[in-house]
Amino acid sequence: MRAFVIDGPRSGRVAEVDPPTPGPGQVVVDVTRVGLCGTDVELFAGTMVYLQSGDQRAPMVPGHEWVGRVAQIGPGVTTVEPGRRVTGDTMLGCLRCDRCRNGRHHVCDDRFEIGIRGNWPGALAEQLLVPATALRELPGSVDDAAAALVEPGGCAWRAVEAAGVGPGNTACVYGPGTLGLLTLHFLVARGVAVDVVGLDATSLELATMMGANAVHRAGSQPNTRYDAVIDTSTGADVPGTALRHVTPSGRLVLVGVAETPSVVDLRQVVIGDIKVIGILAASAGLDATIREFSTRQIPTDLLVGATVALDQVADVLAGKRPAHAGPGPKIQVDPRQGDQ
């Protein structure tokens, strides 16, 4: 089968690789759509922290935001049948440790992360191997473009849950990329007045179209305090700035990960009685996100800029936006395009 393989920093190619074979408890999925993520960019650039720690290494097949149909099932699989349309959890815990047994498999020390950690092959391929326990079946009301947004949507949903806001509250989202716009979507659905701070005028315009109360260019936002501030950006300076905009007894939720450490004055946390919450992975938010997407249409026309073939992935990861792309920040891939 064809897959996109990263051989090293800024070196990627479409290659013929052996198709997966399902073992006990596993399934093989025919992939129909994959979203490219900032994590994939970091893996391609060679800057991702797991490459430094040895938890991931080249060659690798990335891709963890996906949708497809079950093609084969392995021995012992009774929960899903061939032909079912599915997405799945990125985080694959050992299922033996205390964290896994207590529903915290996403922070299992021995976990794989599909396309990211432990060299479990990712979804930028025609087929993907997945444990049946990680699968989530999809209703017909969630099309492929939306289904491939379920993983970042799960991260956004968890961030909004952690923010603890609702009607009558205010919030600010830093970073109007895909994750930030999905966070905005869920906040607006809960009746929260949301301001958005970002660097790019096009992204801020999308935030306005998706219901932001106000948008501000980074560095020029007013000295407003909010009940919750959610950082979905990758700016190392943002957490310190965001903290200053949290109202006393409010919450700062951190979802984005910068390439370098952030410097934050933690005295402000104590003096302001502020809760600071970190969010890793979509796992606990996948089911809720699928329900939300099935009942309240996600604006994929605003979020997804283009869908490309595997042959174009290297250019996109290198920062070259497809010529035909719309304004949406997310680029998705159809691995079936350009089959040889």
Query: Would you state the pLDDT for residue 297?
Result: 86
What mean pLDDT do residues 34-56 have?
A: 96
Residue 292 domain flag: no
Both 80 and 193 in one domain: the answer is no
Q: List Cβ neighbours of 27 (8 Å cut-off, separation of 6 or more).
A: 70, 71, 72, 73, 74, 77, 80, 129, 130, 131, 132, 135
Both 197 and 210 in one domain: the answer is yes
Q: What is the mean pLDDT of the chain?
A: 97
At residue 272 the predicted structure's pLDDT band, cuts being 50, 70 and 90, is very high
At residue 90 the predicted structure's pLDDT band, cuts being 50, 70 and 90, is very high
Residue 288 domain flag: no
Both 213 and 274 in one domain: the answer is yes
CATH number for the domain spanning 199: value is: 3.40.50.720
Query: Would you state the pLDDT for residue 329?
Result: 97
Query: Would you state the pLDDT for residue 205?
Result: 98
Say how many domains are in the chain.
2
Q: List Cβ neighbours of 224 (8 Å cut-off, separation of 6 or more).
A: 172, 195, 245
CATH number for the domain spanning 143: value is: 3.90.180.10
3-state helix, strand, coil in the chain (%, to 5): 30, 30, 45
Unique residue bearing structure tokens 């390439």 = 259
What mean pLDDT do residues 262-274 have?
A: 97
Both 109 and 211 in one domain: the answer is no
What mean pLDDT do residues 309-333 have?
A: 97
Residue 50 has pLDDT above 90, yes or no: yes
H/E run at residue 251? strand 246-254
What mean pLDDT do residues 152-164 have?
A: 98
Residue 50 domain flag: yes
The residue from 249, 278, 307 where one domain ends is 278
Query: pLDDT tens digits for 223-262?
Result: 999 999 999 999 999 999 999 999 999 999 999 999 899 9
User: Residue 106 has what DSSP assignment?
Assistant: G
What mean pLDDT do residues 194-211 have?
A: 97
Both 225 and 237 in one domain: the answer is yes
Q: Report CA-CA distances (Å) from 202 to 196, 205, 270, 271, 314.
A: 13, 5, 37, 37, 24
Q: Give the percent of the chain with pLDDT over 70.
A: 99
Dist. CA 319–CA 13, nearest whole Å: 16
Both 23 and 129 in one domain: the answer is yes
At residue 57 the predicted structure's pLDDT band, cuts being 50, 70 and 90, is very high
At residue 144 the predicted structure's pLDDT band, cuts being 50, 70 and 90, is very high
Residue 340 domain flag: no
Query: Would you state the pLDDT for residue 58?
Result: 97
Both 159 and 231 in one domain: the answer is yes
Residue 293 domain flag: no
Neighbours of 38 (CB within 10 A): 16
Both 160 and 274 in one domain: the answer is yes
Both 121 and 81 in one domain: the answer is yes
Both 220 and 307 in one domain: the answer is no
What mean pLDDT do residues 6-12 have?
A: 97
Residue 308 structural domain: 2-149+298-333
Please state the separation of Cα 98 from the chain's center in Å.
26
Residue 283 domain flag: no
Residue 320 has phi, psi (to 5 degrees) of -90, 110
SS3 302: helix
Both 139 and 196 in one domain: the answer is no
Residue 295 has pLDDT above 80, yes or no: yes
> Which of left, alpha, beta for 220 (phi over 0: left; psi -120 to 50: alpha)?
alpha
Residue 291 domain flag: no
Query: Would you state the pLDDT for residue 259?
Result: 85
Residue 303 has pLDDT above 70, yes or no: yes
Residue 83 domain flag: yes
Q: Give the percent of the chain with pLDDT over 90.
A: 98
At residue 85 the predicted structure's pLDDT band, cuts being 50, 70 and 90, is very high
Residue 339 has pLDDT above 80, yes or no: no
Query: Would you state the pLDDT for residue 340?
Result: 38
Both 261 and 205 in one domain: the answer is yes
Query: Would you state the pLDDT for residue 245?
Result: 98
Q: In this structure, are residues 97 and 39 in contact, taking their beta carbons and an 8 Å threshold?
A: no
